[in-house]
């Protein structure tokens, strides 16, 4: 049994394509919000908020291999934040299907004293499922 929930403006008549579009927009709004909230937390160096958006058994790319679990990921971020200041600005969030989301962003990395180290555009691929960020892949734009 399927349950369809849909809101509409007064006087609007919906057909099945409209329902799919509205549901898609609501899903994307939730996914977009999750991604932007995660990057905002990262920019604030708020690891507790970030970790709340990930499953307990998260596997995440690190400098020398894959990090397993929230403790490993938190330690990784703490090491990064102890030596550099990174700021990521989300430019675009695109749902590619199957929970896969491509995020385009502008990134700047500085020393703690504000000396630029690098800047550029990146694309991150996330898997979002059950309201959590399940995985990350990175590549340069």
pLDDT tens for 49-89 read 999 999 999 999 988 889 999 999 999 999 999 999 999 99
pLDDT score of 17: 59
77: buried, middle or exposed (CB in 10 Å: 19+, 13-18, 0-12)? buried
pLDDT higher than 90, residue 141: no
pLDDT tens for 4-49 read 334 444 445 555 555 555 555 555 578 899 999 999 999 999 999 9
Cα–Cα distance, 138 to 141 (Å, whole number): 10
Task: Tell me the whole-structure pTM to 2 decimals.
Answer: 0.77
Q: Note whether 121 and 105 are within 8 A (CB).
A: yes
Question: What structural domains does the chain harbor?
Answer: 16-140 (3.10.450.50)
């Amino acid at each position: 049994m399927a349950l369809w929930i849909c809101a509409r403006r007064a006087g609007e008549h919906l057909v099945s394509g409209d329902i799919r579009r509205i549901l898609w927009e609501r899903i994307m709004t939730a996914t977009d919000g999750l991604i932007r909230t995660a990057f905002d937390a990262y920019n604030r160096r708020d690891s507790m908020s970030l970790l709340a958006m990930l499953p307990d058994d998260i596997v995440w790319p690190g400098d020398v291999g894959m990090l397993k679990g929230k403790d490993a990921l938190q330690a990784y971020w703490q090491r990064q934040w102890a030596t550099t200041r990174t700021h990521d600005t989300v430019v675009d969030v695109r749902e590619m299907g199957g929970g896969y989301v491509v995020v385009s962003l502008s990134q700047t990395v500085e020393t703690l004293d504000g000396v630029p180290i690098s800047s550029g555009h990146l694309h991150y691929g996330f898997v979002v499922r059950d309201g959590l960020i399940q995985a990350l892949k990175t590549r340069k734009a």
